[in-house]
Structure 1
Amino acid sequence: MYIEMKVFGFALDSIAQLPMILLKDADEKHTIPVWIGTSESVSFAAEFLGREMAFRNGRKDLLGSLMERLGMHIERIVIESLTDGVFTASVRLAAAGGEEVRIEVHVSEAMLLSLRYRMPVQVGSELLAQASTLDMSDDIAEETNARRFIDFLDQLDPTTLGKYPM
């Protein structure tokens, strides 16, 4: 069974110093953080900032134009699995004759397509249980943040404190 999730936000993980995309389900009970590379984050941020401009000038992107020309459309975007902390994803395209074409993509590309075409991301319920799913109730969120802050303090080197102005 698949659960529909949407790109909820884009943030910088202050502990890991990595950009991440947040996926949430419709009830906002489950959140999946998807860490991405710095180069991928530039494309994602540009999509966040520039998508309204692209719709205003009426221009289609290359993929949209190509799919239209071939008589295809995106059927669904799926996060397939999580192995050793790395997500795998695919995009399912539907041809005019009803044939489905599955293309494996980087998870960041899948998230970009979800954002660009305003489509949900399908996540398997077993993957949701396997992933670092956060219950967004206040008690658990505060406990998680507190644990992360304690871990940060444990790893803090006092010699670096003089670098940051107060």
Structure 2
Amino acid sequence: MIVKVKGIAYDMSGSPIILLTDSTEKRVLPIWVGLLEAHSIALAMEGIPQTRPLTHDITLTICQTLGASITGVEISDLKDNTYFAELYVSSGEDKYLIDVRPSDAIALALRAGIPINISQTLQGQMLDIQEILDEDAKKTLEELSDNLLDEYKKSLH
């Protein structure tokens, strides 16, 4: 199933959570990531150019320079509270499957303009937004509070 990055939220301890939603935006798969990873994903979401390339930008440049391309990403599994992901890379006739962190898969997919997929197993673990959010939080998620998003964008520069 193809999912999209709805936004970045923060839990009570300040840890970033990437919110992946289905096409109806009624179900969400929250994935906790580190601060630096969230920053890289936010930059890619907003298309904010950097004066120097970040690691994910360099990864794409290396692939392109070597004649390879990232053809897909999949958040594939959850084991012991750790998500796993796979990166699909093609180079000519050769195909490669690379184990990566979900945050790296998401950051690369956003930069490469390719869909983010989740496995069937994880589809069954998506949460119903209606059941987990109160009215205020639902409204915030739906709007992603333009003011807060603008402030966050400013902080990325």
TM-score (norm 1): 0.68
> Which residue identity does 2:91 align to in structure 1?
A
TM-fit CA distance, 1:40 = 2.3
RMSD: 2.6
How many pairs does the alignment contain?
132
Gaps of 5+ in 1: 55-60, 147-166
Question: Do the aligned partners of 1:7 and 1:114 also contact (CA within 8 Å) in 2?
Answer: no
Q: Which residue of 2 aligns with 1:117?
A: 112
Unaligned 5+ residue runs, structure 2? Answer: 51-56, 138-157
Q: How far is 1:52 from its partner?
A: 4.0
Greater radius of gyration (CA): 1
* Alpha-carbon distance, 1:64 to partner: 2.7
For residue 116 of structure 1, give the secondary structure of its aligned residue in structure 2.
Answer: helix
Check whether the contact 2:77–2:121 (CA below 8 A) recurs between aligned residues: no
Q: Deviations over 1:11-40 (max 9, x none)?
A: 212x24211101111122321000012232
Mapped pair 1:12 → 2:10: yes
Query: Percentage identity across aligned positions?
Result: 29
TM-score with structure 2 setting the length: 0.71
How far does residue 89 in structure 1 lie from its aligned partner after superposition? 0.7
1:36 match: 33
The 8 Å contact of residues 6 and 119 in structure 1, kept in 2 or not, is answered as no
Alignment of 1:1-166 (within 5 A): 3-13=1-11, 15-49=12-46, 51-53=47-49, 61-97=57-93, 99-129=94-124, 132-137=125-130, 140-142=131-133
